[in-house]
Amino acid sequence: MRDFSLSLLLLACSAGVAQAAATTDYDIVFSGQLSGKQTTSVANGGRITTTMSYRNNGRGPDLSERIVVAADGTYASYRVTGTSTFGSKIDESYRREGDRVRWHSSADRGDRALTGTAQYLPVEGSFEADAVLARALLAAGGRKVAGVPGGELSIEKLAATTVTHAGESRAVALFAIRGASIEPSFIWLTDDADRQLFASIYPGYSLVAPRGWTQDVAPLEALQKDAEAKMLQALAARLAHRLGDEIVIRGARVFDSERATLSEPQDVYIHDGRIAALYPAGSRATGDAASIDAAGRVLLPGLFDMHTHEGRWNVLLDLAGGVTTVRDMGNDNRTLAELAHDLEAGRLAGPRIIAAGFIEGDSPFASRADFVVKNLDEAKAAVDWYAQHGYRQVKLYNSMRPEWMAPVAQYAHERGLRVSGHVPAFARAEDAVRAGYDELQHVNQVMLNFLVTPETDTRTLARFYLIGEKAADIDLDSKQVTDFIRLLKERGTTLDLTLATFEYMFQQAQGQPNPTFGMVADHVPASLARSWATNTMDIPPAKVARYYAGYEKLLQFAGRAFEAGIPILAGTDDIGGFTLHRELELEVKAGIPAAQALRIATHNGAKVLGVAADSGSIERGKRADLILIDGDPTRNISDIRKVSLVMKAGVAYYPAEIHEALGIRRFADPPAVIPAAASQP
């Protein structure tokens, strides 16, 4: 393996000296399992070719890139072809000629004049594309660089160290790129003139490193986590408003989450992080209390997102969206425990995390996490580990064998754990319910009950495309459907439908506005909004209407399940805050009254997690996990986006500040707050 300086390559090209391409192979690893590779070749004239392919959880992209780098390090031209994570076709291009740039992607196309240094941001590129971006920003010498189609980009060096493999040492450095997304992008480059891509690490989840080096870069993950933690801790300290032990929220209309009703204006007193009293508006405070002027706004219990896979930046979006408790449905256990501990200690800002224990069967399609089991005994050992570490629930996944469902469920129940999950391949949702599942994840997993055969392998993308192709034909009045709903009712089975996760998959043609995030797209950075304008599913134009109709059938089923009294949860499996708001809107679209959707996102979540005695409603003695809304979401559910204030255990946060710290335009202004000494009559 040879390293070449980009500057030397350009010099050699100008001198007419022919050189062979320098090629680097990278391994792509998920949870310790080799899952794919990337090969990058750098040739004369700043020409870079990259191929990248990986598979995790039965899906992944296949990309081929052709890049020509200009003298300032930005793209002179860029082209990527292949298929996306869920199978859609990718054919994206960009070219700059003087002061004119042109681009075309599945999301958009553009042709405009542009002066100065600017870097194109592909909708979906390889890890090498990130390295080209980093080198271009470093070449700018600390100046911000315009992003194309929009935004401003910057880079910061966070750490440097040396890594050794088989007697060979390399100096490497960690950089954070800002402006390309809501959260910084972290990348490791060689700490020399070449600035080659060395590693890309998502702590606890994935790793990209040169072939043969993946076992030697473990110290880099610790350095990256430490650097990221310093960023987040400083941000958390700035965003938290500790108003004192005594707080009164004046003139709020309080939502009763159990009865799904709204009160007349009340004063809500908070003492030492807990709700102390509720009086009619205009009451007289007897102590030295800070005062928050609700001014008739609606006060809700903090929301519960019952299906997340948390990260240290996503929790900020949760909090800004009014989410004060989440259920994590699968993660690296050690990484998640560290995150939950930091949140509880107040070092980071975000919701309380209650984890479900993830258990997957071993197969080529497995989603790699801590427990990927080869037999029933290993599955039971995983249950024991979760029970002994305080988990309340286990989640079984796609590659579990159907015959393991019943004995694992019984074993988990004997140890006091709830059981939920995906329906294993070659089984149906009805089989999972009869085997002892207390809860089913995802509306597609539920509706496949009426579409699969014993030969259908739902570990593959079939679990998505089968819905698009055939869900429109499901007769919701058929005996099969009504019997299934009756079974759910009889068994008391809960549904975690994650409706929003599937909306854009089945109801967005390429290049069309995203129905799930369309209401917030003009608030977020341009690159994120642009990524939302593309569908990673491969939906032929002739089948768009059929896929749309199939999703409508999923919504109709959700409405019927609610009418039948099936317990429903509000979960997302996607970006924090924004997706939960859309989930509630879709529940209303499915026929669930807005006030009942709010009940689902508060009372139901607390009940299922076993924390209803401490949260989930606004009652004396409970945690002061509260959100203040501009508008009335019991009448217009979309008002749930206008979160003015979030309180977690009595600590106040203003979503406007959180969003703006992440490059997002605010949705609501904070309420007026009078400090304790000044608030007394």
Report the residue count for the chain. 681
As given in the structure block, the two tokens for residue 94 are 């960009």
DSSP label of 602: I
Q: Give the distance, in angstroms, between the CA of residue 145 and the centroid of all CA atoms in the same chain.
A: 27
CB 530 within 8 A of CB 108: yes
Q: Is 627 within the bounds of a domain?
A: no
Question: In 230-366, at which residue ranges do the beta strands (DSSP E only) sit?
Answer: 246-256, 261-271, 274-280, 290-293, 298-301, 303-308, 323-328, 352-355, 357-361
Q: Give the distance, in angstroms, between the CA of residue 128 and the centroid of all CA atoms in the same chain.
A: 23
Does 160 have pLDDT greater than 50?
yes
Q: How confident is the model at residue 681 (pLDDT cuts 50, 70, 90)?
A: very low
Share of the chain above pLDDT 90, in %: 90
Output the pLDDT for position 20. Answer: 61
Using DSSP's 3-state secondary structure scheme, residue 188 falls into: strand
Q: What kind and span of H or E run contains 102?
A: strand 100-104
DSSP per-residue codes, 6-56:
HHHHHHHHHTT---PPEEEEEEEEETTEEEEEEEEEEEGGGEEEEEEEE-B
Across the beta sheet with 568-569, what order do the strands follow? 372-373, 357-361, 393-396, 418-421, 439-441, 494-496, 568-569
Does 16 have pLDDT greater than 80?
no
User: How many alpha carbons lie under 13 Å from residue 139 in its C-beta half-sphere?
Assistant: 21
As given in the structure block, the two tokens for residue 412 are 């988990």
Q: 582 and 468 in one domain? A: yes
Nearest CA-CA partner of 198 in 212, 186, 187, 185: 187
Q: Which amino acid is at 294?
A: A
Task: For residue range 463-517, list pLDDT tens digits in order.
Answer: 999 999 999 999 999 999 999 999 999 999 999 999 999 999 999 988 788 999 9
Q: 552 and 456 in one domain? A: yes
Nearest CA-CA partner of 207 in 335, 28, 26, 25: 28
Positive or negative, the CA dihedral 80, 143, 153, 237 is positive
Q: Which amino acid is at 381?
A: A
Burial label for 233, CB within 10 Å (0-12, 13-18, 19+), is: middle
Q: 314 and 198 in one domain? A: no
Q: How confident is the model at residue 13 (pLDDT cuts 50, 70, 90)?
A: very low
Q: Furthest-apart CA pair in the chain: how many Å?
A: 85
Output the pLDDT for position 370. Answer: 84
Question: CATH number of the domain that 397 lies in?
Answer: 3.20.20.140
Q: Is 231 within the bounds of a domain?
A: no
Does 421 have pLDDT greater than 80?
yes
CB 137 within 8 A of CB 146: no
Nearest CA-CA partner of 360 in 30, 638, 611, 99: 30
For tokens 């291009």, the residue is: 93
Query: How many domains is the chain built from?
Result: 2
Q: 315 and 178 in one domain? A: no
- Distance CA(461)–CA(566), nearest Å, equals 28
Does 15 have pLDDT greater than 80?
no
Q: Is 242 within the bounds of a domain?
A: no
- Number of CB atoms found within 10 A of residue 286's CB: 9
Q: What kind and span of H or E run contains 138?
A: helix 127-139
Q: Is 530 within the bounds of a domain?
A: yes
Does 17 have pLDDT greater than 60?
no
CB 651 within 8 A of CB 346: yes
In this prediction, residues 578-587 reach a mean pLDDT of 98
As given in the structure block, the two tokens for residue 542 are 């002739």
CB 530 within 8 A of CB 125: no
212 to each of 187, 388, 531, how far by Cα in Å?
19, 36, 33
CB 13 within 8 A of CB 29: no
Last-in-domain residue among 614, 632, 662: 614
Q: How confident is the model at residue 678 (pLDDT cuts 50, 70, 90)?
A: low
- Number of CB atoms found within 10 A of residue 33's CB: 12
| Cα first-last separation, the chain | 76
CB 424 within 8 A of CB 433: no
Q: 189 and 324 in one domain? A: no
Q: Is 233 within the bounds of a domain?
A: no
Average pLDDT, the chain: 94
Nearest CA-CA partner of 573 in 666, 655, 505: 505
Output the pLDDT for position 369. Answer: 81
Does the predicted TM-score (pTM) go above 0.85? yes
In this prediction, residues 197-217 reach a mean pLDDT of 95
Output the pLDDT for position 595. Answer: 98
371 to each of 110, 144, 182, 347, 368, how far by Cα in Å?
46, 44, 31, 29, 8
Does 1 have pLDDT greater than 50?
no
Q: 321 and 180 in one domain? A: no
Alpha-carbon torsion, ordered 664, 505, 87, 208, to 10 deg: 40
Q: Is 260 within the bounds of a domain?
A: no
- Number of CB atoms found within 10 A of residue 91's CB: 11
- Distance CA(107)–CA(7), nearest Å, equals 33
Least confident of 7-11, 312-316, 386-390: 7-11
Beta-bridged to residue 296, according to DSSP, are none
CB 94 within 8 A of CB 103: yes
Output the pLDDT for position 186. Answer: 97
Task: For residue range 222-279, list pLDDT tens digits in order.
Answer: 999 999 999 999 999 999 999 999 999 999 999 999 999 999 999 999 999 999 999 9
- Number of CB atoms found within 10 A of residue 615's CB: 23
As given in the structure block, the two tokens for residue 294 are 């609700």
CB 423 within 8 A of CB 445: yes
Last-in-domain residue among 564, 593, 614: 614
Q: Is 329 within the bounds of a domain?
A: yes
Last-in-domain residue among 215, 235, 265: 215
Task: For residue range 162-176, list pLDDT tens digits in order.
Answer: 999 999 999 999 999
CB 356 within 8 A of CB 393: yes
In this prediction, residues 12-21 reach a mean pLDDT of 46
Q: 58 and 193 in one domain? A: yes
Q: How confident is the model at residue 6 (pLDDT cuts 50, 70, 90)?
A: very low
Report the relative pairing of strands 33-43 and 298-301 from DSSP bridges. unpaired
Output the pLDDT for position 101. Answer: 97
Does 3 have pLDDT greater than 80?
no
Burial label for 280, CB within 10 Å (0-12, 13-18, 19+), is: exposed
Q: 17 and 147 in one domain? A: yes
Range of the domain at 594: 302-614
Nearest CA-CA partner of 77 in 95, 63, 59: 95
Q: 308 and 159 in one domain? A: no
Output the pLDDT for position 490. Answer: 98
- Neighbouring residues of 436: CB distance < 8 A, sequence distance ≥ 6: 405, 406, 409, 410, 413, 419
As given in the structure block, the two tokens for residue 164 are 């050794």
CB 514 within 8 A of CB 533: yes
Q: Is 244 within the bounds of a domain?
A: no
Q: How confident is the model at residue 679 (pLDDT cuts 50, 70, 90)?
A: low
Task: For residue range 274-301, list pLDDT tens digits in order.
Answer: 999 999 999 998 888 999 999 999 999 9
Does 8 have pLDDT greater than 50?
no
Output the pLDDT for position 19. Answer: 52
Angle (nearest 5°) at CA 140 between 10 and 52: 60
